[in-house]
Chains A and B, each alone.
Chain A
Amino acid sequence: MNLKPLLFLYLSVLTFFYSSCKKNTDPPIKIVVDSVKVVPPGRFLHGIFIVHEGQFGFGNSSISYFNPDSSLIMNDLFTTINNRSLGDVAQSISYFNGKFYIVVNNSNKIEIVDQNFYSTGVITNMIELPRYMLKINNKKAYVSQWGSSGKGNIAIIDSATNSVINRIPLGFGPEKMILYNNFVYVCNEGGFTNDSIISVIDISTDKVVTSIKVGYNPTCIQIDKNNKIWVLCKGMWKSDWSSLDKKGSLVQLDPIDNTVKSTIELSSAYTQPESLGLNQSKDKLIFNYDSKVYELSITSSLPEVKINHSFYKLGVNPANGDVYATDTKDFKSSGWLFRYNKLYLKVDSFKVSILPGEIMFN
């Protein structure tokens, strides 16, 4: 699909609004702080980003930008603007110190773009199969990575130099992370083998302070309104792959004493859960499982089917509670982005690019 007409249309609309806004409001102010010119926010600062993994080895990963108000979608943003491939298997995107950091798993790199999506740099040194990035403070961010030789680690990115300053060794397949009260909770999702540990890192020392055993292969993590941590565990296959030896589960942790409070086992012995979201009021968990979207109230132990559609990843817009989910189709033609409101009624759907995965709200 040719994106140029779309981009042109979008830019013209944007320019029109931007210039008309400017006329009606105050004259442009140039603030000079430490002789650094503060530029107006870039055109992609606010919006929803869909990270497309693309086909493994084909280098056709991409980023789509979606504006939920205008319902305008722009596919293949990075390549359209920078005229080169984003790389092989883009995993996630994070906003850190005014820039977007795109974690490209199989290219072993993190691409940095500004708010207009112009490429400004890349981090490659000490990056090995990176997965997700989490802002710790304005000085540093953590990147979970599977590592190229067995065990994974957390790479610490220094914002001043945009380079890896240290690595914290972890278990197999470090995946998603959350920050709570000076501690980072990291899922060790198993990587190329199996694991069942949540590692807890003290951000002041960058050291692992404790390890919590949860269900097998914990992959996603959220924190609810009562400050309880929820971990989605995928479960573990039998060695002959005939069925799940350990089924998927949802595990509740209490960060006060770092212990498991409850475990809710999922029913199927043949499929694994994927992608954990939290509703706007942070009292309901939403996840993909068994070709459906389930909801689990934090006070219940019985997940309910809410959407009867097989999705790959999902995300909840913190602004209004809309649920977004990606459908990968046959993994080689265009995927789709579906939007539901907070009552799980379908709003609309959009054709995106090959193999859409994670959804990020900024």
Chain B
Amino acid sequence: MNRFVWMVFCFVHTIIVSGQNQKGISDTIFQIPEVLFSVNRIDNFSTGNKVQRIDSALLSSYSTTNLGQALSACTGIQINSYGTGLSSVSLRGTGSSHTAVIWNGLNIQDVLNGGVDFSLIPTGFFDNIKVQYGGNGALFGSGCIGGAIHLNNTLDFNRGVNASFRTAYGSYGHFYEGLNLSYSNKLFSGYIKAYYNKAKNDYKFRNTEEFETPTQTLHHADYSEYGVLAGAAVKINDRNIFETSFWYLNNDKNVGQTMVASNLSNNQNQSYRTSTTWKYRLNSLNINIRSGFVDNVLFYNPFNSNLPNSKHQSLSLVNEAELTFKPNENHLINFGFSYTFEKGISTNLSNNAHRNRISMFSSYRFSSNNTKWVIVTSFREESMNKMVTPLTFTFGIERQITPLLRVKGKVSKNYRIPTLNDLNWNFDGFARGNPDLKSESGFGQDLGIVFNKQFQTFTLGYECSGYSNIVNGWILWHPNADNIWTPDNVSKVWARGIEQDLSFKFTFSRLTIKPSASYSYTRSTKIVADIPDDDAFHKQLIYIPIHKAGFKMFMEYDGFSFYYGQNFMGNRYTLVNNSKYVNAFSVGDISLSKVITIRNQQVNFTFLMNNVWNTVYQVMQYYPMPFRNYQISIQLNFK
């Protein structure tokens, strides 16, 4: 499951994580702890990258929501939410297909369209979530140009029996039920998580786009979904561990109503994902062999009987072998090889919509004593159906200049291979795929400073990062001379920006207060003219806000915790020539929770209030968002 495992460190890490869980607190919201030894690639080799780890207690408050809601409430990243329907992520001025989503090391971006619908993923399934800002294709492969979201589960030993049961009720007919069981002894560890979730989403909104702006009730936005995630690890002996996990999701969702149109449809999504790893350790050598399988099916059933129902299925099989070698504390070397088979089966795809991908990768990390200097170089070469993509690399460096100040830098070349839809879309009288597409390539630079100062009762943290990322051969669908829509590597985009995060932590005996603020400035512009008189030239890409800010306050006192977050999103252009935009908004969320311990068993009460100030806003234009809404949940924990 987790790769590059050094088992000893795995245990250390596990203890840290579980210790945090027991206390119900964790690290600051914005800073990740500088973990000395870690369990996977992001921790070992992402030197120079800004990585944000979501506070685990906060994550637990949002465990009854979907990943899109949780990420937009708990982090500053941009989640494009189409009302209660689909939601996608955009990191550092790039698109959803430029953000890799990595579940326990397996990239789960859809093979057909390159995206991940975050509204389909239950937050409660993961033990920790990290947001990696900035691409690192050499580590994580195709699609990691703007950054990555890492979803992780931990399998730890010697923890006995744990069970928890959570029920939540919320506005608009929201009901959630989740179960979490785990057992481990010194040789076996296993868990099973299951959930059922449904909502009517029949909320009221003012339709500002209709005659006399009537107040309407959203209809046809209900869903019901369930899923299960199970994992097991067996310690065969001191050298061998075998791990496997299985994930099944079933979402049944009605979508399609906006303020201006109602192209209603029912979407049925079923996904199976498995991942199996064999870990072998011999002194300073570690070998991981992993195999992952993903089968994702979407049944799209439009309510307009003029349009046909369709089925879109994607299959991928990923096999990886890697070797990690740590001769001493200063050096860490890694080599790997992966083979992936991908296939798309869809009404719209040609029969030969499949491909073989082979890649080789390697990383090296040098860290000086006391980690004053850390230098990482990584390389990856991928060939897709015998077509070799250009060599991608990352060179990252970190330097502790003074005990307070750390400087990070990174240069990386990243890539994204075309999706199967881009390559193999069958001509339907309107659009046609382009089998000659090349990979997109991104070239990015990051520079950041991290300042941390500990006083007696409080800690101050400040991180500032600047980045520049040029994406060449950006794949765009556009009508050709015969007015047939085809994709081409025509566009070139320059994304650059500055991110600033400021956080404090005050501790007064049993009271902890953690206020934090963040601001990001993003310019993402098209720097070639794709057509004559292109009025999108040098204009900001649509739906990328230039200004984004957030304020968060987290307080804990004696099992009682309070969270308040206020996020501001600036104007976002809706037309490529930037002549129209959807208005800026600011939305506040509150979460309150209280843990009561009765005879060693814990009961956790959580109250969520979303859109505290009753803001009328739209994330995506003409998709109404709900007014103030509530949720209560109770979680029982047994040991």
Contact = CB atoms under 8 A, between A and B. Distances in A.
Q: Do A and B come from one complex?
A: yes
A135 interface: no
Nearest to B537: A333
Contact of A237 (B259, B306, B429, B579): B429
A284 B410 CA distance: 67
Contacts of B534: 330, 333
Interface stretch (A9-17, A80-88, A315-323): A80-88
B260 A330 contact: no
A220 to B, nearest CB: 17
Given A58-B621, A84-B209, A333 B261 contact: no
B478 interface: yes
Which of B213, B306, B428, B575 has the most C-beta atoms of chain A within 10 angstroms of its own C-beta? B306
Q: What range describes how many residues of A lie at the interface?
A: 35 or more
Contact of A191 (B258, B306, B530, B622): B306
B401 interface: no
A19 to B, nearest CB: 32
Given A148-B306, A241-B429, A330 B261 contact: no
Interface string B180-191: 000000000000
Contact of A84 (B208, B261, B479): B208
Which of B262, B428, B478, B483 has the most C-beta atoms of chain A within 10 angstroms of its own C-beta? B483
Contact of A330 (B258, B478, B574): B478
A60 B429 contact: no
Nearest to A191: B306
Contacts of A119: 211
Interface string B209-221: 1110100000000
Contact of B307 (A2, A192, A333): A192
A291 interface: yes
B261 A241 contact: no
Given A146-B306, A241-B429, A270-B482, A332 B261 contact: no
Given A59-B622, A60-B574, A331 B478 contact: yes
Interface in A84-126: 84-85, 87-89, 106-108, 111, 119, 121-122
Contact of A59 (B258, B304, B305, B478): B258
B260 A88 contact: yes
B107 to A, nearest CB: 29
B458 interface: no
B531 A333 contact: yes
A332 B579 CA distance: 12
Contacts, number: 95
Contacts of A58: 574, 621
A322 to B, nearest CB: 23
A241 B428 contact: yes
A149 interface: yes
A47 B533 CA distance: 27
A57 interface: yes
Interface in A174-216: 191-192
Interface in A205-242: 237, 240-242
B481 interface: yes
Nearest to B258: A59
B211 A111 contact: yes
A121 B481 CA distance: 40
Contact of B580 (A60, A84, A146, A237): A60
Interface in B288-342: 304-307
A291 B478 contact: no
B536 interface: yes
A271 interface: yes
Contact of A148 (B304, B429, B574): B304
B258 to A, nearest CB: 7
21 contacts: A2-B579, A57-B263, A59-B621, A87-B209, A88-B260, A89-B261, A106-B261, A107-B261, A146-B306, A191-B306, A241-B427, A241-B429, A291-B481, A329-B533, A330-B530, A330-B534, A331-B478, A333-B534, A333-B575, A334-B535, A334-B577
Given A84-B208, A107-B260, A332-B536, 5 more contacts: A1-B579, A59-B259, A88-B260, A330-B479, A354-B575
Interface of A: 1-2, 57-60, 84-85, 87-89, 106-108, 111, 119, 121-122, 146-150, 191-192, 237, 240-242, 270-271, 291, 310, 328-334, 351, 354
